[in-house]
Structure 1
Amino acid sequence: MTPEVLITTRDGVGWITLNRPRALNALTHAMVRAIDAALTRWEYDDTVRAVVIDGAGERGLCAGGDIRSIHDDARTGGTASPGFWADEYRLNAHIARYPKTYVALMDGLVLGGGVGVSAHGSLRVVTERSRVGMPETGIGLTPDVGGTYLLSRAPGELGTHAALTAAHLSGADAIHCGLADFFVPSDRLADLRAALAVREPREAVRMFAQAPPDSGLAADAAWIDACYSADTVEEILDRLHEAGCSAVAKEIGAKSPTALKVTLRALRTARALPSLEAALTQEYRIACASLTAPDLAEGIRAQIIDKDRDPRWSPATLGEVTPALVDRFFAPPAHGDLSLLTQGNR
């Protein structure tokens, strides 16, 4: 059987290739564990000077976690997913504080869990084909894998817009929002991989990096900041309509009402949290609570399983999502909080 993740060392570099191209390199629990084990091994190996992660196939680095398995788990009692999320979030924290250069080649789709294994790295490379995003509100979930931490620190309210709309950001947008560092044309990636084998990583990336195109999000910052600075999802939608952005409001309105309100609170809270680890702990609470709420299984059913794109959210409207319901997502799980060894800053 072909390994789901290829892990090798060559020329002093640890290479990690996500290898499920037919599934858009979606992360399984076994893949998460294998990546973390390799990072731990290389951390103490003096012959390994840097790590590079990329994805097999032509469609992208990683389109997220294996949400089909999460759907099945949510329908049958939700006993496996908390363990997956705990290991995944520990991996995200490990990447963020990794002592060696961690290069992420973020070509193509980089969504959800794909952001978690790339955007916390020390050298993050996007291309003209990059589509970076946190699509969770569309499946009844909240941005996780440190997504609330990253998006809450984007300029102004751009991260709030990206989270609530579940937008796919261009490579230029990702750089502007702090999710990436360098823009390299996709047809130079093979040359970049070759250079990484013989040069210091930052030097190798700079050899092929170009000025990114203009960021569309940066150009829209004025109306985004004005609309998304509101304190509630309802007021954000009202401001969008008043600003002539009814299409954006309609896009948000199609998402899970519960996920929207939980996401906005999570972003506002994460903005004041002292570390990535603190945000991951909050995200773990939210993810575990989502397993016992109806919208997660329903959202995955509508978007991935049946693909009818017609989720029946419960509650169905924003007005029915009470503060008490939102509070439930921020309470520690009955089995206990996420355990992270280091509470450090990124």
Structure 2
Amino acid sequence: MSGTQRRALWGALALAVGFTGFAYVTTQVRMLRAVSPWQADPYDAVVSFTLFLVPALAALTTVRAWLCRGGGPQPGYRVDQLLRAARLGAALVAATVATDATAAVLRAEHELWDGWTTWLIAALLPLGAGAGWCLALLRRAVRELPPEERRRPGGDWLDDLALIAAPLADLGAVTRFLRRHIVAAAAGLSVSAGALVVSGQAAGEGWPGWQLAVVELAVFVSGFFAFCLLSDALLRIAVTRPRPGAGRAAAFAAALAVPVSGGLRDAVWSLAGLPGEVDSPARLLALMAVCALLAGAATLVAVGVREAR
């Protein structure tokens, strides 16, 4: 691993730590959240996920990078996949900063702004600059990889998980099982993570009622599931054969449509020409379910047509 690649990984870790601190403070400290331009949807929908995804991705990358200690030669697939994870994390930070900046430019929730709001907006500047610098450095680091290493996986995250755990336990059977059932594993992980997030919110803010709890659970489980499928495809969590087909693409599109349509519920409802407003959990659940079905069906047809050509 070259010096540029090491600096890129360290820079991505520092960016993730800084972003996590910023996201936690601006969403969990009530005094600051109350005057934030991005406190409501659709802006809040983005940080509600990246607050969890960025540190989780950074933690997994750090654990796997432990195999690179000592400065010796590393398999090309390992370096490539670590850089892929770092780029995805930095991209999530950049997307969140762009979303927050959009809320500030559009003066969202302007009637609630006070002196603290200026400092919150100003904090976006170093965070955005850090994300831009990190992405540029990661691009240079990726270019140092031989092209064949980027095209040929060679190994995956599950292989290295077994290597890390080898001194403590033999996880060969576990990794083989996960590789065969990676979608089911992603679904199980997403349900567990979604339940933990909703439970944590209920403990901190009070029980919202079972209908709102179901809405929140559906949003988080779907969003986490979409991210798991995306990560498996981009980061090569489990290198499987054959390549994922139309079914997995449709599942990803349907899952992603749930949090997206939930965050943009008023715009989607208006665009569909429906009477009234999304003023109840039942209507919101129905809207998200219809959007998920439409997105999944459209993706299934599109991928099927492309594969038939």
TM-score, scaled relative to structure 1: 0.28
Structure with more contact order per residue of length (Cα contacts < 8 Å, sep ≥ 6):
2
Q: Counting helix residues as a fraction of each chain, which structure ranks higher? A: 2
Q: Counting strand residues as a fraction of each chain, which structure ranks higher? A: 1
TM-score, scaled relative to structure 2: 0.30
